Structure 1
Amino acid sequence: MQLTGFDLLFWAAGFYSHIVLLLVLTTRRRASEFPFFTTLIASNVLRTATLYLIIHHGTKHEYFYTYWGLAVVDMALQFCVVYEMASHVFRPLGRWAPDVRKSFVWMLIGSIAIASALTCLAKPDTHIWVRSLVIRGNFFSSALMSELFVGMIALSVTVGLPWKTHVARISQGLGVYSIIGVLTEAGHNHFGTHSQIFTTLSHLRITTYLICVWYWIIMLWRNAPAARELPEEMRIHLFTLQRMVEYDLRELKNWRKR
């Protein structure tokens, strides 16, 4: 397999961008806050290096099976990242917000069903089953991730739950990249893998992802905005309410002892 100079440029840009992002996650102590996202970025570094070595020193079969083996790992980690982002948004205190967990599960099931249906309807313009499998697999992954991230953002807005800044930045980047991925994979399905349009769409997708990576680098380097303090009037009201509840509980205990 031969790579053009443009392809090598994208590979190098992706590899070093991931390393920079990984350094930001570790030095700014974001890794402990987002362990799955950090693992995903680290796996991308390993994936790029592994595939680069195989493409130069291995066979097409080795590249194919390694690519799809790592793609399965990547998909699993993306699911973990979705859950991680949802946990930060919907269970900031360690417990799921009321009625949200059930909605999230149904959203997950619905997203898988829709992505599967769209993938079945897709008809790649190729007679080679390997290429067809690659195109369908990429399309399924992009469709599923875009649905999950868009659905998660919509669900958080609907129920009025808090949306932490770093969580928002990560989810926004993954959501935008997944949506662009759906559009480019739809183009791959329609135009096939031998046209110049295929190459252009692939470069568009990679460029979008690199933009997202540098967006994460900048946003995760910055500190999250400090949480807003309650107005003094609201603070007094909550304090008074707490004292009233404590008083009622004491009265209830005394009544039970009688």
Structure 2
Amino acid sequence: MSKTQATTVILGAGQGFGFSIAKKFGQTGDRVILAARHQASLQALTQRLTDQQIKANYVVADATNSQSTATMFNQITQKYGTPHRFVYNVGDTSADNCFNFKPDKVTQVFQTNVLGAMTTTRQFAELPTETKTPRQILITVGGAALKPSPFAVSLSLTKAALRNFGLSLATALKPKNIDVAIVEVQGLSGINAEMAPDRVANVYLQASQNMSQTEWFYPQQASAQPDEGSQLKALMKDPSRLKHFLILHPNFKTLIESYRNNQPS
């Protein structure tokens, strides 16, 4: 296979934002590589992209395991050459509050949301390349970085740390001909029409086309959306809307129950 086609790697490629981001870049002509922990899901998503005439492949990888992600990059580079773009779209959205948090769980969330990004972006940056075209890193941060939720404390503090890391990384990698952008998605996948994954994915493409801007918000204004916790609270008060949401996004059931149980009294 040719190694001249631009390759975009999406780590954290689930059926929501990750799939739509892959589809968006695939529609521009990139080869897209989906990466996550579960092979069956990756196979299904890759087939959906292939059915849309998008060149897509997948690699099983665990963002919290540095050896796993190193192997991922090695496999991709050997087969397709050094990837042009890396999207870190991984997030542990476990719920807790200021009083019931468990230190081991906080460590786990930090490892997923922050340390995983630190490790994989370094691995990407260290890949050999001969191209003079700047390579790109896009990091999904989330609205909790700026609007912390009282019943998603670990999520909020780690997303704030991830935002700070992304801003620092952008400065550090500029001399290495690698551009970095962070995308702060202020809402849950599919919770309303504005948060439809295909619409959210547009901002990743916009960011990739204008990497002089490091921080991107969706919606455009940082204050445009309530925090994710408030969005979930509103959803849980509307049984018919919640039922419809869970039909479309069954993977959110556990998260919603966790948030319900962790709301401060």
Fold agreement, TM-score > 0.5: no
Taking structure 2 as the reference length, the TM-score comes to 0.29
Taking structure 1 as the reference length, the TM-score comes to 0.30
Higher helix share: 1
The structure with more radius of gyration? 1
The higher relative CO (CA closer than 8 Å, separation ≥ 6) is in: 1
